[in-house]
Structure 1
Amino acid sequence: MTAPIRVAVTGYGVIGKRVADAVRAMPDMHLVGVADVATDWRIRTAAELGIPIFAADESARHAMVSAGIPVLGTLEDLLGQVDVVVDATPKKVAAAALPLYRRAGVKVILQGGESHATTGHSFVAQANYASAVGRESTRVVSCNTTSIVRVLGALEAADLLASARGTLIRRATDPGESHLGGVMNTIVPESSIPSHQGPDARTVLPNLDVVTMAAKAAHTQTHNHYWSLRLRRRSSRDEVLAALHAAPRIAFVTMAEGLVALNTTVELMRDLGRPRGDMWEVAVWEDVVTVDGDEAYLTYQVFNEAIVIPESIDAIRAVTGTVDDGAASIALTDEVLGMRRRFLPSLSSPTPPPA
């Protein structure tokens, strides 16, 4: 039996804790430990869960020990025991840590807060898994960019998409940080068109004709996208839906099910027993998809805290070269996490009441 991939996670925050949990669930991976600088409830939760804890540096180690946190060593100690590190630290921190990772000789996976130039490769599993196999490092793109590549990439793969123009309504801040500030009772447009998500999607799909506009709204639960698409030919709604159905990690919801707003889908994830209420899929409103000749229109929801977790797991397999086939990695990740193509089963025709 092949030895499991030995994984380190740095930064035990919104993304890091979810990556850590997903790694622990995978049959071909072993979480050696997590590294952080925190001494509060977040890292204490990791200790409670039995996750080995390391300090990002000596200063953090002293603070952690003083706070009573069981520390096994520093990040350098952790790196000496692993094959790959997933860096989920705040924006710009990961780029500064790259020299340390390279000296340790480990594979590196960064998150979308870092620039494409940092690794020279950006990753979404269904689009470019093969080009990441064996690389020293890659960058899993941001939540919104991941959704763009999944959905528009599905239509491009079906030779349907000519161009895409999208508007993104972004959440103001992560729910766990809403006490620190955010947008209240207003909407703040991004100051440039295109917003950064469109150009970022082209780091994965270079030929994608996409322009995005974005605004930050006064809510904390998930993002909402609206897309106006020009198709390569006159098409039908069924053909567009078939292309989306054929792609991985797109799930379908309907207004008819009562899933009429972002909060209803979030509540559904909780009712389904998802860890932390997470939704790893892009949730497309199936009954809203509209096609008129060579134009199509759709809207979908992005759970920003969770969507990049399966991509991070696939990136681990790609850079370590343990799985060459992207479809095989996607299938394994999705099966273990329990991802769905439709969140609710189709209801049978109602049985008439007895006479």
Structure 2
Amino acid sequence: MKDKVKVAINGYGVIGKRVADAVQLQDDMELAGVCDVVSDWRIKMAAHKNYPVFAFDSASQDQMSKGGIQVEGTLEDLLGKCDIVVDCTPKKIASQNIEKYKAAGLKFIVQGGEKHETTGHSFSAENNYDTALGLDATRVVSCNTTSIVRTLTSLKRAGLLKKARGTLLRRATDPWESHLNGIINTLVPEPEIPSHQGPDAQSVDPELDVITAAVKVPETLSHLHYWNVQLTREATREEVLEAFGNSSRIALIDYQDGLSANNAVKELMLSLNRPYGDMYEVAVWQDMLKVVGDELFYAYLVDNQAIVIPETIDAIRALTGIEENAQASIQKTNAALGVQKGTFI
């Protein structure tokens, strides 16, 4: 077997901690360490899990040490111990870090908060894994964009997709920051149509005819999408469900099964013993899905904290070349994370 790829995580927040846990579950990867600037409970959890902890710089290292955290060194030290870096720092921070990665001769992955131009390649495993093979860098697109590319790619591969128009109801903030940010008793529409998710999906697949509109809503659990798709021909509901079923990262839920709201679906994930109650799949309401002639209408939920985790694991394999076959990597990742195909229950 090939040597394990040594993975460094820079930024141990909402995404970083999940990527670190996911790396630990892969038999072809090794966690070289996690890095951050904070010295509070978040990085202390990394130490509690016996993950090697590194500080971004000497000032951060001093603060961590004062907080009783065993620190292995700084980011510079961590970069000398890894093959690839997954940058999970806050929006616009990663673009300031990439020169460090380049200087160390390392491959790197950034998240969807960064612009496509940061890496020149945007990644979604079921769509363009092959184009990422051997690249020095890629960007795993955002949670909403990931869901858009997954669902539309399924329809496209079935020869059903002509054009898609979607409305996104976006969560206001991450749950753990609800007391700091967010909105109450109001809705905030994005000021431009298309909203940024449509053009972002086209950074993965320029052939997609997709336009999105988005509204920020006062909740934190997930995003909700409504889609109106013009198909290439008249089709049946069964054909559409079969197309979605060909994706191993789209799962079906039923409104009539009591899964009528995002909090109920979150409770389902907790009942399934998912770490953090995470849902890696796009959850499509199959009993709401309707086809009228050549028009398709459907709705789904997106777990903004979890959906990009399997994509990031696959991106690591693609960039490092430890698995050249997209389906082989996807299946390996899905098995390790417990990603389900079809229905959850």
Q: TM-score normalised to the size of structure 2? A: 0.99
Contact 2:2 2:322 in 1 (8 A): no
Aligned equivalent of 1:250: 250
Give deviations 1:205-254, integer Å, cap 9, x for gaps: 10100000000000011000000010001111111111000112000000
How do residues 126-137 of structure 1 correspond to structure 2 at under 5 angstroms? 126-137=126-137
Say which one has the larger Rg: 1
C-alpha displacement of 1:94: 0.6
Deviating more after overlay: 253-262 vs 113-122:
253-262
State how 1:314-329 maps to structure 2 within 5 Å. Answer: 314-329=314-329
d(CA) in 2 for partners of 1:343, 1:273: 16
Q: Name the residue aligned to 2:91.
A: 91
Which residue of structure 2 aligns with residue 291 of structure 1? 291
**Residue type of the alignment partner of 2:66:** S
In structure 2, the residue matched to 1:40 is 40
Are positions 1:206 and 2:206 aligned together? Answer: yes
Q: Secondary structure at 1:276's aligned position in 2?
A: helix
**Does structure 1 residue 151 correspond to structure 2 residue 146?**
no
Residue number in structure 1 paired with 2:78: 78
Match of 2:186 in 1: 186
Distance across 1 between alignment mates of 2:202 and 2:174: 26
User: How big is the shift at 1:344?
Assistant: 3.7
| Cα offset, 1:256, TM superposition | 2.0
Would you say how many aligned residue pairs link Structure 1 and Structure 2? 345
Letter in 2 for 1:325: N
2:162: which partner in 1? 162
Write out aligned runs for 1:32-71 (5 A). Answer: 32-71=32-71
Residue by residue over 1:131-189, the C-alpha shift from the partner in whole angstroms, topping out at 9 and shown as x without a partner, is 00000000000000000000011101111010000000000100000010211011110
| Structure 2 residue aligned with 1:24 | 24
Moved over 6 A (4+): none
Deviations 1:8-32 (A, max 9, x none): 0010000000000000011110001
Give the whole-Å Cα distance in 2 for the aligned partners of 1:235 and 1:100: 51
- CA deviation profile, 1:260-282 (whole Å, cap 9, x unmatched): 11111000000010000000000
1:225 aligned onto 2:248: no
CA distance in 2, matches of 1:226, 1:155: 15
Q: Distance in 1 between matches of 2:176 and 2:225?
A: 22
In structure 2, the partner of 1:352 is none
| Alignment partner, residue 349 of structure 1 | none
Residue 47 (structure 1) shift: 0.5
Name the structure 1 match of 2:110. Answer: 110
Return 5+ residue gaps in structure 2 as ranges: none
SS in 1 for 2:182: coil
SS in 1 for 2:73: strand
User: What percentage of aligned pairs have identical amino acids?
Assistant: 56
- Cα distance in structure 1, aligned partners of 2:308 and 2:245: 20
Kindly provide the CA deviation profile for residues 65-95 of structure 1, in whole angstroms up to 9, marking residues without a partner as x.
1222110001111111100000000011110
Q: What's the offset of the Cα at 1:201? A: 0.0
Out of 299-308 and 248-257, give the one that drifted further. Answer: 248-257
Q: Which runs of 5+ in 1 are unaligned?
A: 346-355
Query: Does residue 331 of the first structure (1) align with residue 335 of the second (2)?
Result: no
Deviation of the 1:343 alpha carbon: 4.1
**Structure-1 residue corresponding to 2:272:** 272
Q: Secondary structure at the match of 1:72?
A: coil
- C-alpha distance in structure 2 between counterparts of 1:59 and 1:110, whole Å: 24
Q: Distance in 1 between matches of 2:130 and 2:27?
A: 21
Tell me, yes or no, if structure 1 residue 237 matches structure 2 residue 232.
Answer: no
Partner of 1:12: 12
Partners of 1:183 and 1:300 in 2: CA distance? 22
1 CA distance for matches of 2:15 and 2:305?
A: 6
* SS in structure 1 at match of 2:324: coil
**1:107 aligned partner, one-letter code:** K
